Amino acid sequence: MMIGEHVRVLRESQKLLLRELAAELEIDTAMLSKMERGVRPFRKEDLVKLSKILKEDQKELYKMWLADKILRTTDNDEFTKEALKIALRNCNSDDNN
């Protein structure tokens, strides 16, 4: 589950209307709707507010946001999985240093 869907599930479980959360984030309701549907990305600065409003761990939101960003950047290219495996190996080798 990526960040947009996760935010929608959290918002709905807390009985928050789309317009209420949009107002808290100081963005347009239509924009938040696009963000929840994955049409537009959340801004990194939204994560702090979202974590407080939705009572969700900021690190978890950040990881989902970053995963979305990576997938958006690769645009589901045919080599995305292989490239991510290489990147992960490089991340893991950095952990050993």
Residue closest to 40 by CA, chosen among 74, 3, 78? 3
Q: Please tell me the predicted confidence (pLDDT) of residue 25.
A: 96
How many percent of the chain have pLDDT more than 90?
75
Query: Could you tell me which residues come within 8 angstroms of residue 68 by beta carbon, excluding any fewer than 6 positions away?
Result: 2, 3, 4, 38, 41, 42
pTM of the prediction? 0.83
Q: Please tell me the predicted confidence (pLDDT) of residue 43.
A: 93
The enclosing H or E element of 24 equals helix 18-25
Mean pLDDT, residues 11-31: 97
Mean pLDDT, residues 57-85: 91
> Residue 1's pLDDT band (boundaries 50, 70, 90)?
low
Q: Please tell me the predicted confidence (pLDDT) of residue 63.
A: 95
In the chain, where are the structural domains located?
3-95
Q: Top-level CATH class of 3-95? A: mainly alpha
Mean pLDDT, residues 26-33: 97
Mean pLDDT, residues 68-75: 88
Query: Measured at the alpha carbon of residue 39, what is the angle toward residues 48 and 68, in degrees to the nearest 5?
Result: 55
